Amino acid sequence: MTINTLDWTSAWNGRVSKADAAPFDIRCGDLALRLATEIRANRLPFINLPYREELEKDLEAQTPWLQSFEHMLLLGIGGSALGARALQKAFYPQQDRPCHNGRSLWIADNVDAATLDAWFELLPPEKTVVVVISKSGGTIETLSQYFLARLWLQKSLGDDWKRHVMLITDEAKGYLRQEANALGLASMPVPDYLGGRYSVLSAVGLVPAAFLGMDWKALIRGALAVGAPLLNMGAGASELHRHPSWKLAVWNSALMAKGYSQIIFFSYVPLWAQFGLWFTQLWAESLGKEGKGSMPLPAVGVTDQHSTQQMFLDGPRDKACLLLSSPSLSRGSQFGNDLPEEWAYLRGAHFGDLLQAEGLGTQMALTKTGTPLIELRMGRTGEEEAGRLMALLEITTVLTGWLLDINPLDQPAVELGKRLANARLGAQGYAEESADLEAFLGRAPEQQEF
């Protein structure tokens, strides 16, 4: 039997010690009560997945239709795209390999006019389903893509365009929900209280997973297994105190109190590299508030040993590390015995052995230079393990936010940029933002050619 483990051997390193955890650890009782209350009220649905039964029923019914297409064009940004991309790269790597001729997922997660136009030019509309994801139904980047995609489909397919669209949005409100109801478009809900960065194990991430043929039910099973000990907590706090998410939250809070302002997510599971970008949004958007939080830094082993690791090892001592590894990765091709003498130590070894050695080397080097480090060692790298990892990091993020006395479920600062962009585009109702724009654009320029 393979298991997943957290290795704490190098966690209390550098300026941080177990004693620094005490001021945070004593809050376990109060936060256990808060957690139990929020779970029972379904305000943390990514832990108990109260929508699971309906989701599984709907997704099983929709999968044959989804898989009747050769291409899926996913329109979404931030949490509407990062989880889907992480799963795609981890469990459908064949799309990036030579001579791929199976189904393909294309994710439009930016305002990139050239790429969007290229997709419209090259994708066959009759073989493409467009999936539009926005919880609010009003995300301007996603809606603008949808308006253009709708026009593209209509030009080629006429009235049949509606059969090529699915909207994933709020169950009751917002423009996309109105659109789905008015036009009879296929749709699936984003449950209440499920923000984008916590939504990967809902229709947001599982619709593209089902399209690509992943074992999406295993993703759900894995997540539920991690949350299960927290669903029936008794009057005490013992269940939470033993839970790895609590220990990680206390560790991160102690790190921040000691001036560690950055947390490296170093993936030595190559196909899981995109989990680092998913974690970056989860952590940064949840905890970067009121001058608090730590900056997540995604890194890929061994690629970033030749770039950012110089800074990690010899730069400011303000970084801690979560290092993702797995002993079960493929060892790959074996080296022959005809290697030059200076490389004789590789004779008979496997290419994958190099990754394991490099990961150990990085772990030891970071520890030696005083970097607090926890190894997330995955026994296997299947869908169930991915669900476990995502659930663990989501719960850790919420608990860390509570220990910092901030709300880890909102993102107030993000809205300012959106309001200013809307004002710039001429939207109504942004008088204050329009005035700020006028002042900003009216500044005397100070420029230099290069």
Q: For residue 99, what is the domain's CATH number?
A: 3.40.50.10490
Domain's final residue, options 185, 212, 239: 212
- Quick check: is 435 in a domain? no
Task: Report phi then psi at 199, rounded to 5.
Answer: -105, 5
Pair (351, 317) in one structural domain: yes
For residue 51, being part of any structural domain is answered with no
Same domain, 243 and 206: no
Closest residue by Cα to residue 268 from 311, 197, 324 = 324
DSSP secondary structure, 358-378, as one string? HHHHHHHHHHHTT--EEEEE-
Per-residue pLDDT band for 91 (boundaries 50, 70, 90) equals: very high
Helix (H) or strand (E) holding 418: helix 412-425
Are 294 and 397 within 8 A, CB to CB? Answer: no
Query: Are residues 185 and 84 part of one domain?
Result: yes
pLDDT band at 1; cut points 50, 70, 90: low
Asked whether residue 424 is assigned to any structural domain, the reply reads no
Q: Is there a contact between 145 and 176 (Cβ–Cβ < 8 Å)?
A: no
368 lies in the same domain as 230:
yes
Establish if 427 belongs to a structural domain: no
Helix (H) and strand (E) counts for the chain? 18, 10
Q: Which amino acid is at 362?
A: T
Model confidence at 266, in pLDDT bands (50, 70, 90)? very high
Residues 283 and 375 grouped into a single domain? yes
pLDDT at 9 over 60: yes
Task: For residue 248, tell me if it sits in a domain.
Answer: yes
Tokens of 196: 């984008």
Of 349, 353, 350, 377, nearest in space to 363 by CA: 377
**Predicted pLDDT of residue 413:** 76
364 and 292 share one domain: yes
By C-alpha distance, which of 128, 15, 5 is closest to 75? 128
Backbone angles phi, psi at 320, to 5 degrees: -120, 175
In angstroms, what CA-CA distances link 379 with 5, 86, 333?
8, 19, 22
Check if 285 is active-site: yes
Structure tokens at 191: 């449950």
Active site residue 243: no
Q: What domain range includes position 307?
A: 5-37+225-403
- The C-alpha atoms of residue 249 and residue 229 are separated, in whole angstroms, by 16
pLDDT tens readout for residues 377-386: 999 999 999 9
Residue 234: pLDDT band with limits 50, 70, 90: low
Q: What is the pLDDT of residue 99?
A: 96
| pTM summary value | 0.95
Q: Are residues 167 and 249 in the same domain?
A: no
Cα-to-chain-centroid distance, residue 1: 28
The span from the CA of 390 to the CA of 376, in Å, is 12
Residue 229 identity (one-letter amino acid): P
Contact by Cβ (8 Å): 267, 273:
yes
Could you tell me the pLDDT band of residue 271, with boundaries at 50, 70 and 90?
A: very high
Average pLDDT over residues 81-96: 98
Residue 439 lies in a domain: no
Percent helix, strand and coil across the chain, each rounded to 5? 55, 15, 30
Give the per-residue pLDDT at 421. 81
Domain finish residue from 145, 179, 212: 212
Whether residue 278 is found in the same domain as residue 174: no
306 annotated active-site: yes
Q: Which of 162, 241, 350, 418 is catalytic?
A: 418
- Tell me: pLDDT of 203 over 90: yes
The alpha carbons of the chain give a radius of gyration, in whole angstroms, of 24
**Between β-strands 262-267 and 295-300, what pairing exists: parallel, antiparallel or unpaired?**
parallel
pLDDT over threshold 80, residue 310: yes
- How many structural domains comprise the chain? 2
Which helix or strand (DSSP H or E) is residue 279 part of? helix 275-287
* Catalytic one of 53, 306, 342, 446: 306
Mean per-residue pLDDT of the chain: 95
Asked if the model's pLDDT at residue 117 lies above 90, the reply is yes
pLDDT in tens, 394-447: 999 999 999 999 999 998 877 777 788 888 888 888 888 888 888 898 899 899
**Nearest to residue 322, comparing CAs of 259, 396, 271, 382?**
396
- Amino acid at residue number 122: L
Verify cis geometry, omega within 30 degrees of 0, for the bond prior to 250: no
Is 437 a member of any domain? no
Same domain, 97 and 189: yes
Q: Are residues 153 and 252 in the same domain?
A: no
Tell whether 152 and 201 lie within a shared domain: yes
Alpha helices by DSSP H, listed for 158-274, are 175-183, 203-212, 216-227, 238-242, 244-257
Q: Name the active-site residue from 38, 141, 285, 383.
A: 285
Q: What is the pLDDT of residues 121-165, one digit of tens each?
A: 999 999 999 999 999 998 999 999 999 999 999 999 999 999 999
Same domain, 248 and 394: yes
Is 177 inside a domain boundary? yes
